[in-house]
Chains A and B, each alone.
Chain A
């Protein structure tokens, strides 16, 4: 019966809280209660695979991907810690944000948007954004920082960077390259 029939929820395709200026394409996410366990949130991709997460009551996540032959079953069900799921969200979410920003800047000649990850162990891991002096040294602006599931729009210079953060940087192609170097080498 319709116990299965999912509660249809309109939800962002990417679990980011995007800055209001950025609109993301919308996908229908099915939310199915799993009594005693938690909920399953998934959607069917254009290629016909079902992909989503099982959220356990105690806050653990499983990433689920349906099988190719049997769409009812899961080809993979991968347990993720909160940190891991945050990192995965970054990996998937940041390019989306970049693509959107790039589209918006499309009219402005010579400006590109790029995502610059802070590698764990980078000289700026644990130091405020202001320490990079990126604007002064390369002319590049950091318009947002993606961390775990959150987006920090227009970060202030005192925003402390951490490994696995992704900086969304806007500038000239050369400037953005220099900024990437700067973040890696200090």
Chain B
């Protein structure tokens, strides 16, 4: 009885603290994700106030957080949007993949973490945070800008890439070797294709399966279906998160909208727990040694994302300022980098330094991203104003 009371108090204090942090974060215009991570670091082993006895609840809650993050990501885009997006923006998507996975992968190799570590770090630096970016674009009133569809189509491609990447990662982390990895690629591609076809042709039936006018029944059905699919996918070694993501894609239309509205608060809650858990399991004393690497990675991958956006927007005939805005908008990394690092750390198959490096990197990028999106254009204008008169003389 006593331990339950302590757990409740600890959990309550953590949630309340996160609430304060979240409010502070949006006030100063940054994503709350880095603050949640910091919160986790503070309460974890080696932190300021180590909290114990929450292990079981928080770890399953963190799992659910990942599942909900990916489910809502899938719900965000309809299958038709994904397919048109893939068809029309695949070149920008490939440039994005190559430019942004490379720095992470190289860092992983240089740190001597082997091909697996390189694969994980490549994923961490590759994937932008669609949550942060959508929020920032909305806040800055840029949804009507000409470069915004370019930014969004790059994000769409990244999300599809995730659907292929995560199963491969799961297989590799399980230590299946090259052949196993290749078969995981095959299974992943097959699953994504099947789900896209099913969603395009029979999306209504999938939606009808979970749809219900009663909100309570609907919530239970969607959540139940997501956990079921995720569990089965996990059993089949395809990664629980991807199962949820594919379910999200298959649900479409008004059902998807209702599900998003209903699950958003749940996702925010469980995802916050996930970030805290990731922070809890990372020893903050290991961060200072990797801070330098994280900073270098942050600078390099900021530039590569800007280059990606610059190039992709240029292909659409957008002028210089718009190209810069597109690039800067893409800089933010966040939830999905942590999802990838979280999977890797949970498997125990990667080096000890990976979690602190990923934490430090995401801390930097989740703060830097919104700032970059905000200041890139004004700074460029100022720079031009300074340079112009000199050129004139």
Contact = CB atoms under 8 A, between A and B. Distances in A.
Size range of the chain A interface in the assembly: 20 to 34
Max chain B C-beta neighbours (<10 A), residue from A36, A64, A66, A70 = A36
B152 A73 contact: no
Contact of A3 (B134, B145, B150, B318): B150
Contacts of B152: 34-37
B156 A35 contact: yes
A37 B76 CA distance: 8
B130 A54 contact: no
A90 B143 CA distance: 25
A77 B144 CA distance: 7
B88 A1 contact: yes
A58 B315 contact: no
Contacts of A21: none
A76 B142 CA distance: 9
Interface in A114-161: none
A2 B85 CA distance: 10
Nearest to B133: A36
A82 B145 CA distance: 22
Contacts of A4: 146, 149-150, 153, 316
A42 B150 contact: no
Given A3-B85, A3-B153, A70 B322 contact: yes
A66 B318 CA distance: 14
B92 interface: yes
A139 B181 CA distance: 84
Given A1-B89, A1-B91, A3-B89, A36 B144 contact: no
B88 A3 contact: yes
Contacts of A33: 81, 84, 149
Contact of B77 (A2, A32, A36, A54): A36
A58 B257 CA distance: 8
Given A4-B150, A37-B134, A72 B143 contact: no
A102 interface: no
Nearest to B316: A4
Contact of A72 (B153, B261, B315, B319): B319
Interface centre among A42, A54, A66, by most chain B C-beta atoms within 10 angstroms, is A54
B257 A32 contact: no
A106 B261 CA distance: 53
A72 B88 contact: no
B130 A36 contact: yes
Interface in A20-69: 32-37, 40, 42, 50, 52, 54, 57-58, 62, 64, 66
Nearest to A77: B141
B: interface residue count bin: 35 or more
A4 B146 CA distance: 8
B162 interface: no
Given A37-B143, A52-B144, A32 B149 contact: yes
Contact of B144 (A2, A35, A40, A58): A40
A1 B142 CA distance: 20
A1 B90 CA distance: 9
Counting chain B CB atoms within 10 Å of each CB, the highest count among A3, A57, A66, A74 belongs to A3
A19 interface: no
B84 to A, nearest CB: 7
Interface in B101-160: 130, 134, 141-150, 152-153, 155-156
A64 B257 CA distance: 24
Nearest to B312: A1
A15 interface: no
- Top-7 shortest CB links A-B: A64-B144, A77-B141, A72-B322, A3-B88, A72-B146, A4-B316, A35-B81
Interface of A: 1-4, 32-37, 40, 42, 50, 52, 54, 57-58, 62, 64, 66, 70-74, 76-77
Given A4-B153, A36-B134, A77-B144, 15 more contacts: A1-B89, A3-B84, A4-B146, A4-B150, A35-B82, A36-B76, A40-B143, A50-B146, A70-B321, A70-B322, A71-B146, A72-B321, A74-B144, A74-B145, A77-B143
